[in-house]
Amino acid sequence: MPDTRLAQVLDVAAMRALEAALIAAGISAEALMEQAGRAVGEWARRLGAGRAVTVLCGPGNNGGDGYVAARYLMEHGVPVTVVAAREASTRAARNARALYSGAVVGPEALPKGEVLVDCLFGSGLTRALSEDLFVLLITLAESHPQRLAVDLPSCIEADSGACLNPGLPEFNLTIALGAWKHAHWTMPAAPLMGALRLVDIGVAAVPGAVQLLGKPQITAPAADAHKYQRGLLAIVAGQMPGAALLSAEAAQRAGAGYVKLLAPTRPEGVPPALVCETGDLAALDDPRIKAVLVGPGLGRDAAAAARLAAVLAKDHPAVIDADALMLLRPDMPGSAPCVLTPHDGEMAALEAAHGLPGTGLRRGRAQALAEASGAVVLLKGPDSLIAAPGGEITLAPRASTWLSVAGSGDVLAGMIASRLAVHGDAHLAAREGLWLHGEAARLAGPAFTAGELAAKTTLALRAALL
């Protein structure tokens, strides 16, 4: 089984409590610093391939990690210079400073090298750097082509992902210590951090902690499976059927055994493998239907609202996306498992409809909507996340920026709906669909169309098969 400790995403308070628990159990702060700092030193050595490293140390334990890393580098024959921006102020940091016998210079020295290791401030920072420290960081970053941040780049607020100083340089690598922090996966900070690596220092798992989305474990159909056992998915089309056709292509490739398009009139371009029924939505009475997708290309007029109401009245497990989200109201019928897939604009409309304030961090807003609606909420964006009623939150790793293309959301909705038809678990379907979406984008490469993204669903599913 995967180690859930290594997938948990913690706020600063929780991380401090875990470190305190380790110390109370007999592991000294100095021992934890030694473990973290030596791992940082090894990553810096690899990043610079043995060339000169500059370590920028602040006054706290993040700076102490830097002194340990510098000692490790010196022991391994790597030229290293420590820039002490401020004198070490904690006991563990002072001990690490005393054990380091190499060159230490003041902030006026401005050495040059291949790698800059930012150990100025870590995850506890909540206010902007003073002008002198920020200028120092920027100046050193400009003179080092490779930049490594320890835990987080200085100037980043760990819990929110806010950039406390504008103009922070980009880093090539960020080494998270002990556990992931929210900023590692949250805009606007996440894109500044480069590649991400986690150093395990032995912290315990926190019950109910936010989790990082991992690869799902999907099984192939049973030996005696037929199309209805694998799941019948109905996709309700509307004014712009092209979006529903994109959803259908992705759904057919994501595991459902039977995908059926329900459209007012037969649209052009329906592939032979896709069954299309036209007219009213009497087909929704089929008891073999395991899930319904409504929203892509639905429209927002009275006819679209009537189609949405008809879907909800049948109370099938559902994925509600796109236009349907703008029409959805709390008093509409339905109690079956449901996934809502809003982007930021649709999220605001849903919050207004449910009487929610729409303020605060994205994860808190998504959780509030999940509780108010009783649905799983997949809040889309460059830092997509999933919130389930009951409090479980999952953050998605950074995905390809080429996903910012028309029709990408329709493909995602089709993937989620397909997985929902397979097993009926809305929360699991959202996680599986979101992972498949990111993997399909990785496989598609740069500058793909939504159709090309949908076509990669088969390969993405293959990667998740047990």
Domain positions in the chain: 4-207, 227-464
- The predicted structure's pLDDT at residue 67: 98
Residue segments in the chain with a per-residue pLDDT below the cut of 70: 1-2
| Residues with Cβ within 8 Å of residue 148, at least 6 apart in sequence | 40, 43, 44, 47, 115, 116, 117, 118, 171, 172, 173, 174, 175
Angle between helix 29-48 and helix 61-75 axes, rounded to 10 deg: 50
Closest CA to 107 of 128, 87, 80: 87
Chain segment 240-256, per-residue pLDDT in tens:
999 999 999 999 999 99
397 class by beta-carbon count within 10 Å (0-12 exposed, 13-18 middle, 19+ buried): middle
Task: Please write the tens of the pLDDT for every residue from 316-359.
Answer: 999 999 999 999 999 988 889 999 999 999 999 999 999 999 99
* pLDDT tens, residue by residue, 255-287: 999 999 999 999 999 999 999 999 889 999 999
Burial class (CB in 10 A: 0-12, 13-18, 19+), 333: exposed
Q: Contact, 292 vs 284, CB < 8 A? A: yes
CB-CB neighbours of 112 under 10 Å: 13
CATH architecture group of domain 4-207: 3-Layer(aba) Sandwich (3.40)
Domain 227-464 has CATH 3.40.1190.20: yes
- Strands annotated E in 362-462: 376-379, 385-387, 393-395
Tell me if 396 sits within 8 A of 385, measured CB to CB.
yes
Distance CA 277, CA 298 (A): 16
The pTM assigned to this predicted structure is 0.95
**How would you list the strands of the sheet with 173-177, edge to edge?**
104-105, 80-84, 53-57, 115-119, 146-150, 173-177, 195-199
Q: Where are the beta strands (DSSP E) in 325-392?
A: 338-340, 376-379, 385-387
